[in-house]
Amino acid sequence: MRVARAAVGIVAALAASPAQAQNAEAERLFREGDRLMAQGDLARACEAFEGSNRIEPRAGTLIRLGDCREKNNQLASAWSAYSDALARVKDPAKQQIAQAKVASLEPRLSYLTISVPDEARVAGLAITRNGRAVDAVLWNRGAPVDGGEYVVSGRAPGHEEWSTRVTVKPEGDKVSVEVPRFKELKALTSEGGAGGGAGLEIGAGPRDTRPRLTTRRKVAIGVAGGGVVVLVAAAIVGTQAQGLERQAQDLCADTICAEHARANQLLDDARGKARLANVGYGVAVVAGVGAGVLWFLGGGAARADGVAVAPAVGPGLAGAVVQGRF
């Protein structure tokens, strides 16, 4: 019954001295908030009043916002709105409402204290509550909060992050959270090693523990060696082709070639060996490029399941195909 009379008093006071916001958007949001409250949609009504106050702060809007928050069981937000209205109000009727509301809500508030002992105050420490930064001046002080669940987190450069979750009742609750002493990341590494686990030295910077001759680089050496063998073989075949060509030229050195058929056969053999030599040279070049790429990539994490090098021969084409996972 008392709450009903208080609500009637707020509406009557605002009606007697209407907000009459000069900004049209603020006025529209104010009226929308009134309509939503009458429909029982408190969450959206409070958002409308809050938006109206952001556009044009007025004591009447703050009182209406406080009334909405109070009905929505957000006592700390309601108390804050009434307190802001009291600092701004000039109308005596509205001032009386704001004073009465501040006085009646204050004993019912719930508080959340974030305790930060001296040993936990490392350089660069940042505390957040539900993702919002908590100023250092509010540490170790009880802050009025609405009822609900809160995630308190802390982080500092070079230290392990920390967070905890607490629930605060809507009315008359007092909850305290103590921030622990943050552990340095390098200390965590040594502890992990003492327990038999593989520790990661985050604080000491990256360290390459991989062997210098990785799997990729071993494959690169193999590919390069194969390329050298193919190159030598191609050079031998090419030399043979040149020799056959010289033999053919010697047979037909005179104007009349008596061994024309034999010379043509030698030239055909020379061309075949020359083509084979060219294929070998192409394979050797590709193998050299592939070996270089594999050696360069071998400095990273070895993830290749395998590498295959195969010659690719076709009409007008001589080369090799390098396949693998990188």
Q: How many CB atoms lie within 10 A of CB 183?
A: 12
181 pLDDT more than 70: yes
* CATH class as words, domain 2-107: mainly alpha
Reported as a single tens digit per residue, the pLDDT across 237-291 is 778 878 877 776 676 665 556 566 776 776 778 788 788 778 877 887 887 887 7
Q: How does 293-324 read in b/e, with b if 16+ C-beta sit within 10 Å?
A: bbbebbeeebebeebebeeeeeeeebebebeb
Q: What is the pTM of this model?
A: 0.52
Which CATH topology does 110-182 take?
Answer: Immunoglobulin-like (2.60.40)
Instruction: Give the rounded percent of residues in the chain with a pLDDT score beyond 90.
Output: 46
Q: What is the pLDDT of residue 44?
A: 97
Reported as a single tens digit per residue, the pLDDT across 145-171 is 999 999 999 999 999 999 999 999 999
Reported as a single tens digit per residue, the pLDDT across 84-132 is 999 999 999 999 999 999 999 999 999 999 999 998 899 999 999 999 9
Instruction: Give the rounded percent of residues in the chain with a pLDDT score beyond 70.
Output: 71
Q: Which residues pair with 105 in a beta bridge?
A: none
205 pLDDT more than 50: no
Burial class (CB in 10 A: 0-12, 13-18, 19+), 256: exposed
Q: What is the pLDDT of residue 288?
A: 81
134 pLDDT more than 60: yes
Phi, psi of 203 (to 5 degrees): -65, -30
In contact, 202 and 185? CB cutoff 8 Å: yes
Same fold, 2-107 and 110-182: no
Computed over every residue of the chain, the mean pLDDT equals 79
- For 7, the 3-state DSSP assignment is helix
Q: How confident is the model at residue 217 (pLDDT cuts 50, 70, 90)?
A: confident
Q: How confident is the model at residue 211 (pLDDT cuts 50, 70, 90)?
A: low
Token readout for 209 is: 């523990």
Domain ranges of the chain: 2-107, 110-182, 215-324
- For 214, the 3-state DSSP assignment is coil
193 pLDDT more than 50: no
